Amino acid sequence: MEYSREIVDPASVPQRTLSNGTQIPVIGLGTFGSDHVTGSQIAAAVLDAARIGYRHFDCAAVYGNESLIGEALQTVTRTIAPRKDLWITSKLWNDKHDRKDVIPAFKQSLHDLRLDYLDLYLVHWPFPNFHAPGCSIDSRSPDARPYIHASFMETWGEMEKLLEQGLVRNIGTSNMTIPKLNLLLQDAHVSPHCNEMELHPHFQQPEFLAYLQEKNIQPIGFCPLGSPGRPERDRTPEDTSPLHDPVICSIADAHRFHAATICLKWAVQRGEVVIPFSVNPRNYTQNLRAVTEDPLTAAEMDQIAAADQRCRLIKGQVFLWKENQSWEDLWDLHGDITPA
């Protein structure tokens, strides 16, 4: 596809309606620099992406760049689009799960982002296990714990308070599993509006997607391109790459699109919201255009469905809570929550 610096009309970007009626643009710009892209580069991309038509930005306290992004957002609301036209997500980090810490952590993100409300606040991981940014894959926090549902409900209760206080329009989860969500749905006053999770053609999670659709929880897919720039600690020799998949590449060649465009079209057409990261104007423009034009055919969607490799890339090893565990323990693969 030719690169043209044309502006994409934000009104042409489809929206999904959440369980409470709010509408979320189907594409947002990711803002995790994967330990090698600086906060300033990302803030510059946020401002420029808003100029070309992005209205949705996926942020998190742990990305360490919310104050720089906040400066960019202030310029956006002064010169490009009113606050009400933006969708800003942030996330509660794992060391702030204690009841007393949730609302202060939220307010810190709000302050850093220079906003007076958020559109979506997520519990970033269901484990309260801190690890230092950039640490190695073998690193374990000495006070790491398994998932403890009663503790998670205390955290969730504070998330519900943020909603009641009108400080956030939607709340949600991230890196959850079906067994953990079953418990949350049973005990929560307010069900999550969204669940952010790894989703790309090589990790399609069809059962989880169907579960969320049945429960009216919007899936937000992270690493929608297979995270080619992810940190070293998140790479293993078994990993595969959807951008190099022969099925994706042949559909891309037939349309004269980049493989990234095919991954994003596929994701949005199967019902996801996507949050690809990029600091390259050509790439983030191409990604925005991908979701506004030339949908894939049903046959192409079926071909990609058959290309699943069940390859989780963000395995989360640093959140394990005891020695000699394998990353699969975080993901409740046998249908029950992995015991302590």
Ligand X SMILES: NC(=O)c1ccc[n+]([C@@H]2O[C@H](COP(=O)([O-])OP(=O)(O)OC[C@H]3O[C@@H](n4cnc5c(N)ncnc54)[C@H](OP(=O)(O)O)[C@@H]3O)[C@@H](O)[C@H]2O)c1
112 binding ligand X? (CB under 6 A) = no
Please say which residue, 80 or 123, places its beta carbon nearer to ligand X. 123
225 binding ligand X? (CB under 6 A) = yes
**Shortest separation between residue 242's beta carbon and ligand X, angstroms:** 9
**Shortest separation between residue 140's beta carbon and ligand X, angstroms:** 18
27 binding ligand X? (CB under 6 A) = no
Distance CA(210)–CA(120), nearest Å, equals 22
**Shortest separation between residue 253's beta carbon and ligand X, angstroms:** 15
Answer for which of 65, 170, 173, 278 binds ligand X (CB under 6 A) is: 278
Determine contact, residues 65/96, Cβ cutoff 8 Å. no
DSSP-based three-state secondary structure for 56? strand
Give the residue from 331, 59, 335 showing the smallest Cα distance to 198: 331
Please say which residue, 52 or 166, places its beta carbon nearer to ligand X. 52
Determine contact, residues 65/279, Cβ cutoff 8 Å. no
Please say which residue, 18 or 59, places its beta carbon nearer to ligand X. 59
Please say which residue, 188 or 262, places its beta carbon nearer to ligand X. 262
Determine contact, residues 95/130, Cβ cutoff 8 Å. yes
For 56, the token pair is 């949705």
Stretch 31-50 residues interacting with ligand X (CB under 6 A): 31-32
Stretch 68-97 residues interacting with ligand X (CB under 6 A): none
What Rg value do the Cα atoms of the chain yield, rounded?
19
Find the distance separating the first CA and the last CA of the chain, reported in whole Å. Answer: 50
Answer for which of 227, 241, 292, 338 binds ligand X (CB under 6 A) is: 227
**Shortest separation between residue 274's beta carbon and ligand X, angstroms:** 8
**Shortest separation between residue 287's beta carbon and ligand X, angstroms:** 5
Q: Which stretch binds ligand X (CB under 6 A): 146-154, 162-170, 203-211, 228-236?
A: 228-236
Please say which residue, 58 or 300, places its beta carbon nearer to ligand X. 58
Q: Which stretch binds ligand X (CB under 6 A): 11-19, 156-164, 187-195, 218-226?
A: 218-226
146 binding ligand X? (CB under 6 A) = no
Please say which residue, 113 or 260, places its beta carbon nearer to ligand X. 260
Cβ-proximal residues to 257 (8 Å cutoff; 6+ apart), any chain: 1, 290, 294
Determine contact, residues 103/122, Cβ cutoff 8 Å. no
CB atoms within 10 A of CB 270: 18
277 binding ligand X? (CB under 6 A) = yes
For 339, the token pair is 């015991």
Residues designated catalytic: 63
Distance CA(206)–CA(270), nearest Å, equals 10
**Shortest separation between residue 243's beta carbon and ligand X, angstroms:** 7
Which amino acid makes up residue 251?
I
196 binding ligand X? (CB under 6 A) = yes
**Shortest separation between residue 198's beta carbon and ligand X, angstroms:** 7
Q: Which stretch binds ligand X (CB under 6 A): 201-209, 222-230, 248-256, 325-333?
A: 222-230
Secondary structure, 3-state, 112-140: HCCCCCECEEEECCCCCCCCCCCCCCCCC
Would you give the distance in Å from CA 73 to the centre of its chain? 19
Stretch 296-315 residues interacting with ligand X (CB under 6 A): 314
Strand partners, 195: 173, 219
Q: What is the dihedral of CA 199, 118, 69, 223, to 10 degrees?
A: 0
Applying CB under 6 A, the residues found at the interface with ligand X are: 30-32, 58, 124, 174-175, 196, 222-230, 258, 260, 275-280, 283, 286-287, 314
